[in-house]
Amino acid sequence: MTTPSTPNTAKKILLNAFDMNCVGHINHGLWTHPRDQSHRFNELSYWTDLAKTLEQGLFDGLFIADITGVYDVYQNDIELTLKESIQLPSHDPTTLVSAMAAVTQNLGFGVTVNLSYESPYQFARRFASLDHLTQGRIGWNIVTGYLDSAQRLIGEKGLKDHDLRYEQAEEFLQLCYKFWEGSWENDAVLKDKQNRIFTDPAKVHQIQHQGQFYQSQGVFQVAPSIQRTPVLFQAGASPRGLAFATQHAEGMFIGGDQPEKIKKQVDQIRQQATEQGRDPEAIKIFVGITVVTAETDDLAQQKLDEYISYASPEAGLAHFSSSVGIDLSKFADDEAIPYQKTNSIASVNNKFKEQKITKNDLKAQHVLGGRYPLIVGSGTTVAEKLIQLMDETGIDGFNLTRTVAPESHHDFIQLVIPELQQRGRYKTAYEYGSLRHKLFQQGDHLSASHPVQQFRCQSSDANSDQINIQKQSA
């Protein structure tokens, strides 16, 4: 085991804060804790303060989840969802980014957008604009949705079939690649006042797209941003989802509570990436985790007990019901929940097929209102467990949920990060450059072995392998 006195060169832990533009995100019920501030989510200062805090803790990013639709599967109603504020109300995540970018220099932003309800052109324009304004710190968590309530809200008949959603995602992405990387050459913008040439017309090209889901023709409206394509995150775990993610994603988000199961997923992801002709390390793999920490193990346990007294495992079950598309209120506490095929998150739902799970099991798992693995202890204990989990599984880092906001982030920064740093497993300063460069140290653009390559315009092709790091002003 690594001790604090022998810093090593083993892989450093990447760290995102995992949050959402709402009150109850993952750990439901904690909004009732007297010190919790998440009810202030509609105030800009809540988010700018959070961004500054995370940057002080050298977090790589803030990963902002999002959902289109409401959780109405549990009890076939939204009553509990409203009472416990289970991701309702929830506001648009992209609206937060410019403000947070203005008060930080290095923090990345992984923003979830459900492509099923977006026009590729408008979406690509919004994210390219954000890449400019954040100086290359934007990422996109690609989701396709899993809620029937969203389809009704948007005015469509029902959720598209699971695998068809991924087909649509594939084409959506191809079109975005054309916009982001196929329309403007890297050096198209001259800003030449003397010769009155802002942009060289010879270096801006029309894109053409006639597909199954989308058509487009014309030039993109946004000049090349630092990263061009935002850093791509994805959480697909079903066979179709994995095929999509290992082809496109640069960051993958996996669930899992047991190291052996996490390792299996990691190995599968890296193998599939290799089969797709990519470097297996070109995908950074993050596990979602919840941490409760204090000065000693005993105090951390006391803090957990106190938090638990405010948590709502039932609200967690209501959230879970929508994730799997099954109304869990219908089952007795000790009854094995039968597997039923639904159109929701396939990989989560499949657990009912693989093992006997009762509502009591789920409630025990949701003791803090959420189903993420929970680590409790002093900074030393937590740091060692995180390092152990990383070393046993081959993951690259963690998406850290919040419990009592923003207290839990302050605790983590004050107590856990110094312990990770002493063990040589966490950065002590940010690298220069874009989010992509910070993650991979290979420049701002996607590499030539990524599928984006076939959509790049000719001259961009030639430049694509250049290390192109825009140093940020200090």
Ligand X SMILES: Cc1cc2nc3c(=O)[nH]c(=O)nc-3n(C[C@H](O)[C@H](O)[C@H](O)COP(=O)(O)O)c2cc1C
Q: Nearest approach, Cβ of 256 to ligand X (angstroms)?
A: 9
Please give the span between the terminal C-alpha atoms of the chain, in angstroms, as a whole number: 37
Cβ distance 320 to 432 under 8 Å?
no
Q: Nearest approach, Cβ of 162 to ligand X (angstroms)?
A: 6
Q: Nearest approach, Cβ of 126 to ligand X (angstroms)?
A: 17
Residue 65 within binding range of ligand X, rule CB under 6 A: yes
Measured from each CB, the residue nearest to ligand X is: 241
Residue 236 within binding range of ligand X, rule CB under 6 A: yes
Sites for ligand X among residues 445-464 (CB under 6 A) = none
Instruction: Return d(Cα 222, Cα 204) in angstroms, integer.
Output: 11
* Sole window of 62-70, 115-123, 189-197, 425-433 interacting with ligand X (rule: CB under 6 A): 62-70
Please give the C-alpha separations between residue 386 and each of 60, 191, 258, 399, in angstroms, as whole numbers: 16, 48, 13, 12
Q: How many angstroms from the chain centroid is the CA of residue 142?
A: 9
Instruction: Return d(Cα 30, Cα 23) in angstroms, integer.
Output: 9
- Options 168, 347, 421, 459; binder of ligand X; rule CB under 6 A: 347
Sites for ligand X among residues 258-317 (CB under 6 A) = 288
Sites for ligand X among residues 134-153 (CB under 6 A) = 143, 145-146
Residue 346 within binding range of ligand X, rule CB under 6 A: yes
- Options 58, 67, 86, 269; binder of ligand X; rule CB under 6 A: 67
Residue whose CB is less far from ligand X, 241 or 379:
241
Residue 342 within binding range of ligand X, rule CB under 6 A: no
Residue 177 within binding range of ligand X, rule CB under 6 A: no
Residue 66 within binding range of ligand X, rule CB under 6 A: yes
Dig out the tokens for 146 from the structure. 């899993």
Interface mask toward ligand X for 95-114; x: CB under 6 A: -----------------x-x
Q: Nearest approach, Cβ of 24 to ligand X (angstroms)?
A: 14
Helix 162-182 × helix 239-248 angle, to 10°: 10
Q: Write down the residue that tokens 């992405």 correspond to.
A: 173
Residue 237 within binding range of ligand X, rule CB under 6 A: yes
Q: Nearest approach, Cβ of 233 to ligand X (angstroms)?
A: 9
Residue 386 within binding range of ligand X, rule CB under 6 A: no
- CA proximity to 144, closest of 241, 77, 261, 210: 241
Residue 69 within binding range of ligand X, rule CB under 6 A: no
Residue whose CB is less far from ligand X, 67 or 400:
67
Cβ distance 184 to 178 under 8 Å?
no
Instruction: Return d(Cα 379, Cα 296) in angstroms, integer.
Output: 8
Instruction: Return d(Cα 300, Cα 380) in angstroms, integer.
Output: 12
Residue whose CB is less far from ligand X, 337 or 457:
337
Residue 238 within binding range of ligand X, rule CB under 6 A: yes
Please give the C-alpha separations between residue 265 and each of 251, 355, 467, in angstroms, as whole numbers: 14, 18, 31
Q: Nearest approach, Cβ of 132 to ligand X (angstroms)?
A: 24
Q: Nearest approach, Cβ of 235 to ligand X (angstroms)?
A: 4
Residue 169 within binding range of ligand X, rule CB under 6 A: no
* Sole window of 60-68, 103-111, 207-215, 443-451 interacting with ligand X (rule: CB under 6 A): 60-68
Residue 14 within binding range of ligand X, rule CB under 6 A: no
Instruction: Return d(Cα 86, Cα 447) in angstroms, integer.
Output: 39
Residue 256 within binding range of ligand X, rule CB under 6 A: no
Instruction: Return d(Cα 280, Cα 267) in angstroms, integer.
Output: 9
Residues touching ligand X, count (CB under 6 A): 20
Ordered DSSP codes for 154-194: HT-SSPPPHHHHHHHHHHHHHHHHHHHHHSB-TT-EEEETT
Q: Evaluate the CA torsion angle 214, 220, 141, 278 in order and state its sign.
A: positive
**Three-class DSSP category at 210:** strand
Q: Nearest approach, Cβ of 130 to ligand X (angstroms)?
A: 17
- Options 29, 136, 241, 325; binder of ligand X; rule CB under 6 A: 241
Name the DSSP class of 135. T
Q: Residue 158: CB partners within 8 Å, gap ≥ 6?
A: 148, 151, 343
Question: Which chain residues interact with ligand X by CB under 6 A?
Answer: 65-67, 112, 114, 143, 145-146, 162, 235-238, 241, 253, 255, 288, 345-347
